[in-house]
């Protein structure tokens, strides 16, 4: 396995002797709240949660429990992972500890003692002193957590100045160091950019930098690596490990990725329907858990065999295929990409046979992109630091009818920009986008309306793409009503079918977006995009933030819809496991340019570009350690 370059940015700020005085001042200022610093693992837990029960009030006045009697402890310097299905209450746990619950949510009973103080009984002013300084949180949807009218440097400087006795100029210097820690090179001038000028992965890194700005004692990280590529994920996880070692930082890590848990945490809490059903040491739980829910969450049921069945149904049976590859229906019990690479090496013809049959049978691509360019300007007007960013530079690709093309690349490589251009939501600076013989770049906004209905985009950040004033039923039914696809009753009935189809309960149809978890909002966005039965569906990280069980359900749904409706997918993802399950071909994007295009099997087995080699290698590095011996 090729070694992946690690983040070599300096970490001197963590232990710089010249800044010990600042740390001492912070500790003295925290003294009234009895926040004495501790060294190493404490005898007394840093955080003790007892019988925490949280309920939400629905629109009809009823209540449902999001957390029910949760009890656990976190020691100083310990990393604890929280695992559970989407909507089980994981995010509610983090919000409740910091007093950030929505108005409809309230703590019914329980306590959460942090260094002798019950967080649930503190006044708002006391909580403000703790948030960011002693306990910080990385939210799952960074786009919604960042102020859209503040530049990135101002975001970090505000947090630093609020909790540390530093001048504004010194705070800006600290902000630059923090951004370097999370993988932003100085030449990007990221401090002068606004949140909307960043990709989802870049926003995620800014949120992490903001959370560690004041060196808290406890970091609550809600899916902190969801929108990051595998190389950047490794850098962030290594950064958290270094922070734990240097600052005795305790981490409460919420994630669906068993690889992230195996690499980062000491213990795992498994939550189902708001209740703690199992907990234990990371390695022991992954090896010996007897609970079926825990096993399903920690392990992955590969969809490679299902993918083959769909493609073989479309392929000519006269094609020469090795019978041994047809019988290879391994159901490996690991999330690791290594097993998928091995399968791809042995089953190359089977994985590509469906795509080859479609290419022969179709006359020309459904969507063709030629020499596409898109540029942005970052920095203040009339500023000498204002510079041009080439988000897309000479991009050319083809989407064949009924096929799936995956687009991968590092965070900030231009994937989401390309998706918005293809969906006619942004105008490229130059180049052509041909859809069934029509150049979309030459059409006016009014004439693009019918094409936008045929090319649907599922946004990376579902929280910002759903109307907060609409119920789930209204969100899914709105496109049908706008396109006049039937009466209001017929549109609502169809919307209810789609809501159930993506794994949501029909009796949740009257809930508003903020009453769903982030994973449930993603499913709601998928239902809305499918409502108009588009010809092309662009999925921008549409399956991130979902547990493996729901991911499997959505993948099977997408494959079935593709077979039934001849849908064409452009799938943007950092998860090479999902790419292997869903896609026919893969295109690798680096700094706005395409550096490699190949079949899934060929790219996973023999990546050619440096970018692809790093992504595949980093995925293997994230393999759960306790499973490696099983694969050897």
C-alpha 544: how far from chain center: 4
Pairing status of strand 275-281 against strand 267-272? antiparallel
Query: Lowest-pLDDT range, 148-157, 277-286, 385-394, 622-631?
Result: 622-631
Query: Lowest-pLDDT range, 260-269, 280-289, 437-446, 483-492?
Result: 280-289
Which pLDDT band holds residue 19 (cuts at 50, 70, 90)? very low
Cα atoms found within 13 Å of the Cα of residue 626, Cβ hemisphere only: 20
Determine the pLDDT at residue 620.
64
User: Which tens digits make up the pLDDT trace of 209-251?
Assistant: 899 888 899 999 998 887 677 777 887 888 888 878 887 889 9
Determine the pLDDT at residue 364.
72
**Mean pLDDT calculated for residue range 329-347:** 37
**Mean pLDDT calculated for residue range 596-614:** 87
% of the chain residues with pLDDT over 70: 78
Please state, in angstroms and rounded to a whole number, the distance separating the CA atoms of residues 245 and 470.
46
- Mean pLDDT, the chain, as a whole number? 78
Q: What is the DSSP string of 589-622?
A: EETTEEEEEEEHHHHHHS--SHHHHHHHHHHHHT
Q: Is 226 helix (H, G, I), strand (E, B) or coil?
A: coil
Determine the pLDDT at residue 299.
66
**Mean pLDDT calculated for residue range 592-620:** 85
For 252, the enclosing helix (H) or strand (E) is: strand 250-254
Residue ranges of domains in the chain, CATH in brackets: 47-287 (3.40.50.300)
User: Which tens digits make up the pLDDT trace of 137-152?
Assistant: 998 878 778 888 898 9
Please state, in angstroms and rounded to a whole number, the distance separating the CA atoms of residues 95 and 99.
6
User: Which tens digits make up the pLDDT trace of 35-58?
Assistant: 333 344 445 899 999 999 999 987
**Mean pLDDT calculated for residue range 535-548:** 84
Phi, psi of 276 (to 5 degrees): -80, 110
User: Which tens digits make up the pLDDT trace of 171-208?
Assistant: 888 888 888 888 787 766 788 888 888 877 788 889 88
User: Which tens digits make up the pLDDT trace of 465-515?
Assistant: 898 889 999 999 999 998 888 899 999 999 999 998 888 888 889 888 888
Helices (H), 2-70: 12-15, 20-29
Phi, psi of 117 (to 5 degrees): -115, 135
Q: Is the pLDDT of residue 343 over 80?
A: no
- Asked if residues 266 and 249 have their Cβ atoms less than 8 Å apart, the reply is no
Give 346-388 as a 3 state SS string. Answer: HCHHHHHHHHHHHHHHCCCCCEEEEEEEEEEEECCCCCCCCEE
**Mean pLDDT calculated for residue range 266-285:** 90
Determine the pLDDT at residue 618.
72
Q: What is the DSSP string of 430-447?
A: EEEEEETTEEGGGS-TGG
Please state, in angstroms and rounded to a whole number, the distance separating the CA atoms of residues 83 and 94.
13
Determine the pLDDT at residue 8.
36
- Asked if residues 508 and 76 have their Cβ atoms less than 8 Å apart, the reply is no
Query: Lowest-pLDDT range, 128-137, 354-363, 550-559, 587-596?
Result: 354-363
**Mean pLDDT calculated for residue range 546-569:** 82
Determine the pLDDT at residue 236.
80
Q: Is the pLDDT of residue 333 over 80?
A: no
Radius of gyration over alpha carbons of the chain, in Å? 25
Q: Is 162 helix (H, G, I), strand (E, B) or coil?
A: helix
Q: Is the pLDDT of residue 271 over 60?
A: yes
Q: What is the DSSP string of 508-574?
A: GTT--GGGS-HHHHHHHHHHHHHTT--SEEEEESTTTTS-HHHHHHHHHHHHHHHHHH--EEEEE-S
Q: Is the pLDDT of residue 587 over 90?
A: yes
């Amino acid at each position: 396995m090729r070694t992946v370059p690690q983040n070599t940015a300096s970490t001197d700020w963590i232990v710089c002797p010249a800044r010990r005085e600042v740390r001492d001042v912070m500790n003295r200022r925290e003294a009234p709240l009895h926040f004495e610093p501790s060294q190493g693992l404490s005898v007394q837990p840093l955080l003790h949660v007892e019988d925490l029960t949280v309920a939400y009030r629905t629109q009809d006045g009823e209540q449902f429990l999001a957390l029910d009697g949760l009890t656990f402890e976190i020691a100083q310097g310990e990393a604890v992972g929280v695992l559970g299905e989407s909507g089980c209450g994981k995010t509610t746990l983090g919000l409740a500890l910091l007093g950030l619950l929505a108005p409809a949510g309230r703590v019914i009973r329980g306590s959460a003692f942090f260094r002798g103080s019950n967080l649930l009984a503190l006044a708002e002013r006391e909580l403000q002193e703790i948030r960011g300084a002693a306990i910080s949180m990385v939210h799952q949807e960074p786009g919604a957590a960042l102020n859209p009218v503040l530049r990135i440097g101002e975001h970090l400087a505000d947090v630093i100045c609020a909790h540390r006795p530093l001048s504004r100029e010194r705070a800006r210097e600290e902000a630059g160091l923090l951004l370097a820690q999370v993988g932003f090179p100085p030449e990007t001038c990221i401090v002068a950019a606004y949140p909307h000028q960043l990709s989802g992965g870049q926003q995620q890194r800014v949120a992490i930098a903001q959370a560690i700005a004041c060196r808290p004692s406890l970091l609550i990280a809600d899916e902190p690596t969801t929108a990051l590529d595998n190389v950047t994920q490794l850098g962030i996880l290594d950064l958290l490990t270094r922070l734990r070692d240097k600052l005795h930082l305790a981490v409460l890590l919420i994630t669906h990725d068993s690889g992230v848990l195996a690499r980062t945490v000491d213990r795992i809490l498994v939550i189902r329907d708001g209740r703690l059903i199992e907990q234990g040491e990371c390695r022991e739980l992954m090896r010996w858990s007897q609970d079926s829910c825990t096993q399903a969450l920690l392990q992955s049921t590969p969809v490679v065999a299902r993918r083959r069945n769909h493609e073989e149904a479309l392929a000519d049976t006269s094609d020469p295929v090795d019978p041994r590859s047809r019988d290879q229906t391994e159901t490996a019990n690991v999330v690791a990409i290594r097993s998928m690479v091995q399968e791809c090496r042995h089953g190359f013809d089977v994985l590509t046979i469906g795509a080859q049959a479609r290419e022969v049978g179709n006359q020309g691509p459904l969507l063709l992109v030629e020499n596409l360019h898109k540029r942005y300007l970052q920095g203040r007007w009339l500023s000498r630091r204002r510079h041009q960013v080439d988000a897309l530079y000479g991009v050319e690709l083809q989407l064949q009818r009924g096929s799936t093309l995956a687009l991968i690349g590092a965070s900030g490589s231009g994937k989401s920009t390309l998706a918005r251009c293809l969906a006619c939501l942004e105008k490229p600076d130059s180049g052509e986008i041909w859809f069934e013989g029509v150049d979309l770049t030459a059409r006016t906004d009014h004439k693009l309306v019918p094409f936008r209905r045929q090319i649907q985009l599922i946004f990376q950040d579902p929280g910002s793409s759903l109307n907060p004033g609409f119920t789930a039923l209204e969100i899914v039914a709105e496109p049908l009503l706008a396109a006049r696809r039937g009466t209001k009753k017929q549109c609502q009935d169809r919307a209810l079918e789609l809501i159930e189809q993506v794994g949501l309960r029909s009796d949740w149809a009257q809930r508003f977006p903020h009453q769903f978890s982030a994973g449930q909002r993603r499913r709601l966005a998928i239902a809305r995009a499918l409502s108009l039965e588009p010809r092309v569906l662009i999925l921008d990280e549409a399956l991130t933030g979902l547990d493996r069980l729901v991911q499997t359900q959505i993948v099977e749904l997408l494959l079935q819809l593709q077979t039934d409706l001849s849908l064409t997918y452009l799938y943007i993802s950092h998860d090479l496991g999902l790419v292997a399950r869903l896609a026919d071909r893969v295109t690798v994007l680096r700094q706005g340019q395409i550096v490699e295009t190949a079949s899934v099997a060929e790219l996973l087995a023999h990546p050619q570009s440096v970018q692809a080699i790093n992504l595949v290698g980093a995925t293997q590095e994230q393999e759960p350690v306790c499973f490696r011996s099983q694969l050897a």
